[in-house]
Amino acid sequence: MNGRQVKWTKNTAAKSIVLFVVHFLVMVLVSLVLLLWDKVDVLAEEMNDNGADYLYMVFCLLMLTIVMYIYFFFESRHTLTSGKSIALIFTVLNVYIVVAFLLGKQGSSVSVGESTVSYGIFARPVALVALLILSLIGRKEAIFLNIFSGILMFLLDIVSARMVITQTAYTSLIITFVAGMLAIFLANRAKTRFSVVVVGVLIVIPIILIIFLLKLTDIVDVEIPTPSETFWPDMLMQMGYGVFGGVTSAILFLFILPIYEWIFNCLTAYRLREITAHDAPLLRKLQQEAPGTFNHSVMVAQLAEACAAALNENVDYARAAAYYHDVGKLHQPEYFTENQHDYNPHDELTPELSADIIRLHAQDGSELIRSHRLPQFLGDVALQHHGTLPIRYFYAKALKMTDGELNIEDFSYCGPKPTTKIAAIIMIADGSEAAVRSLPKRTPEDVERVVRGVIEERMELEQFADCNITMQDLTIIRKTLVETLSGVYHNRIKYPNIKYGRGADGSARGEV
């Protein structure tokens, strides 16, 4: 959800079980309220006659919830370590149950035994759970929860139809499975909101085909050998419901997603695009008040993107993390080299005070990101991007000024060290960019030497002790950075100096 890694301990396991129990009870309550809403007056009688149906439903819901827990335990354990993710999953399911159940009651209906079944069942936003979970959590989780939500609604449909498995109920199950899965794979690369609407339109095709073929089975029904008068209008109406269901999935998704993004402070592809646009409030401020830092961040983003792509990490996360890693410098931009021109305020300060000002930008950045309600992941990277590295320049300055012992920790960043691969990438890209920029000559050999030095220094100082980065990853990062940085600096063509003037005939002429 936000790229953070929390260790699986007895405490997190117990917390996840308690949360699952609470959310399961809420889901049971929501389901019972929906099923019994119009039977409140005859509740005692209903329980007397059909209590076993409801007991069966609660038991099935319990089994489904246990299976869901087991699935996440083996396939996506990090989801269980986050109370926010668990709450998000169950609220998405509850919202879907309510919308789908209420829509399922709309439109014309047919009698099935003691109960009636409405064709509004085809108007359900069948791909809503799939699209929301895909954007808010991930594809693996979306695939599972799409199947889960289909079975869940099937269960409610048959309890609602007095335990009769109706044709519409199992058709709805198949439609949910097919449309949801297609939506997941089609929307996986959808980067704009418009492309999600296109996905909504595309999933309509299998939905109307399934409804059309289902309706055709009525023609070959032995009791109705030829289509009745209402056959074609009925079919068109049901297919219309299907179209509504597909398109509404995308529209409801676009409407609900920003609410979830805001409440759960999630990073989605859409939110990432918005917060990495150059007119995003904090970035615009950085551009105006600390242009040097802004340019450095854009450069680090280019390097981090290349490294993330090479390591198969999320490129969008890397770009966003790079853009925001130094926003803490906004508090005192003039104290950082990239924003200085002729005057350096550090000349008037003791090295201790200078180091204090410099190291604060990591904490300031993290707080600024939090106060702007930006995703926690960005705050974590801002806090971790210098780890516990010493601020070499001021440490060396202090060493020159004293004969006594100096505590290197007084001249070091406060940490923590990077806890994710992306934070480690930003740390290395940041250091390499600054070091290469200060080189007088930037030949590929010089760049290679500097990048190697940056990585080795961080390894010696154990900056990667808290993240799962491997030697192989570090080698890939080094090669990618050398390639990208050499490309950036090497391809800059030196423009010849040309003096322009006019010839005797008045035409423009140039002279080298």
**What is the total count of residues that contact Fe ion (CB under 5 A)?**
2
Q: How far apart are CA 112 and CA 23, in angstroms?
A: 33
Question: Given the complex with Fe ion, which of 108 and 337 has the nearer CB atom?
Answer: 337
Question: Given the complex with Fe ion, which of 305 and 430 has the nearer CB atom?
Answer: 430
Question: Given the complex with Fe ion, which of 90 and 323 has the nearer CB atom?
Answer: 323
Q: How far is the CB of 483 from Fe ion (least distance, A)?
A: 21
Stretch that binds Fe ion, among 8-16, 143-151, 318-326, 348-356 (CB under 5 A): 318-326
Q: How far apart are CA 315 and CA 496, in angstroms?
A: 37
Residue that has been written with the tokens 């242009």 in this structure: 291
What residues contact residue 13 under an 8 Å CB cut-off, 6+ apart? 80
Q: How far apart are CA 437 and CA 440, in angstroms?
A: 8
Q: Which of residues 381-410 bind Fe ion (CB under 5 A)?
A: none
Stretch that binds Fe ion, among 306-314, 323-331, 372-380, 488-496 (CB under 5 A): 323-331
Question: Given the complex with Fe ion, which of 98 and 357 has the nearer CB atom?
Answer: 357
Stretch that binds Fe ion, among 44-52, 109-117, 405-413, 430-438 (CB under 5 A): 430-438
Q: How far is the CB of 300 from Fe ion (least distance, A)?
A: 6
Q: Is 326 a binder of Fe ion (CB under 5 A)?
A: yes
Q: How far apart are CA 217 and CA 212, in angstroms?
A: 9
Q: How far is the CB of 207 from Fe ion (least distance, A)?
A: 50
Q: Which of 460, 452, 501, 497 is nearest to 478 (CA)?
A: 452
Q: Is 473 a binder of Fe ion (CB under 5 A)?
A: no
Report the residue count for the chain: 512
Question: Which DSSP state fits 347?
Answer: G
Stretch that binds Fe ion, among 5-13, 274-282, 423-431, 493-501 (CB under 5 A): 423-431
Stretch that binds Fe ion, among 18-26, 210-218, 321-329, 486-494 (CB under 5 A): 321-329
118 beta partners: 109
Give 122: exposed, middle or buried? Use CB within 10 Å, 0-12, 13-18, 19+. buried
Stretch that binds Fe ion, among 28-36, 109-117, 319-327, 367-375 (CB under 5 A): 319-327
Question: Given the complex with Fe ion, which of 250 and 307 has the nearer CB atom?
Answer: 307
110 beta partners: 117
Q: How far is the CB of 3 from Fe ion (least distance, A)?
A: 19
Is 115 in contact with 164 (CB distance < 8 Å)? yes
Question: Given the complex with Fe ion, which of 313 and 326 has the nearer CB atom?
Answer: 326
Q: Is 380 a binder of Fe ion (CB under 5 A)?
A: no
Question: Given the complex with Fe ion, which of 27 and 454 has the nearer CB atom?
Answer: 454
Q: Is 430 a binder of Fe ion (CB under 5 A)?
A: yes
| C-alpha separations of 472 from 3, 127, 311, 469, 481 in Å | 21, 40, 10, 8, 14
Stretch that binds Fe ion, among 19-27, 231-239, 266-274, 324-332 (CB under 5 A): 324-332
φ, ψ at 505 (rounded to 5°): -85, 0
What residues contact residue 128 under an 8 Å CB cut-off, 6+ apart? 95, 96, 99, 248, 249, 252, 253, 256
Helix (H) or strand (E) holding 109: strand 109-112
Q: How far is the CB of 431 from Fe ion (least distance, A)?
A: 8
Question: Given the complex with Fe ion, which of 430 and 466 has the nearer CB atom?
Answer: 430
Q: Is 364 a binder of Fe ion (CB under 5 A)?
A: no
Question: Given the complex with Fe ion, which of 117 and 303 has the nearer CB atom?
Answer: 303
Question: Given the complex with Fe ion, which of 124 and 346 has the nearer CB atom?
Answer: 346
Is 103 in contact with 156 (CB distance < 8 Å)? no
Q: How far is the CB of 413 from Fe ion (least distance, A)?
A: 9
Helix (H) or strand (E) holding 29: helix 10-36
SS3 117: strand
Sign of the CA dihedral running 17, 18, 23, 29: positive
Q: How far is the CB of 296 from Fe ion (least distance, A)?
A: 6
| Residues near Fe ion (CB under 5 A) | 326, 430
